[in-house]
Amino acid sequence: MDSTFNIKPRILAVDYGTKRIGLAQSDPFWMFAQSVGTFDEAKFLSEVEKIFRLDGIEKFIVGYPLGDGGETNRMTRLVDEFIAKLTVRYPAVPVEKTDEHSSSKNAMHFLVEQGVGKKKRQQKGRLDRTVAAMLLQAYLESQPK
């Protein structure tokens, strides 16, 4: 039996907000999403740099907040600016946008289903990092095995 493992660089998922940025990373085998945390922009970039140095980054998955009809809005433009900064800082790492419509609502339902109490659900950042992990898990599950 072959005992080698196909360890891969991380895929990072980002839930960008004007106050907080939720971050999740793949495991080294691209099977599971792991919440990393919620950060302001400076701490986010520091955390990403740490992951980049330790494990490498294969790709960024960034939640893209389109409106109900698929239209862009103020937040979409802010996310585009954020993506531009990521691209300058990590030019060799591709960025893929993913629809995050209803992601906060879905994450809140997930936290309720997991038995997370109301007080913990309302903690700043919990929802952001949960959204990032859910976006990444959906991406990982959509990839051919």
Q: Which domains does the chain have, with CATH numbers?
A: 10-142 (3.30.420.140)
Alpha helix segments (H runs only) across 90-125: 103-113, 118-121
The most confident of the ranges 28-37, 60-69, 117-126 is 28-37
State the chain's mean pLDDT as an integer: 84
SS3 48: helix
> pTM higher than 0.85, yes or no?
no
- The answer on pLDDT for 122 being more than 60 is no
* Confidence grade of residue 105 (pLDDT, cut at 50, 70, 90): low
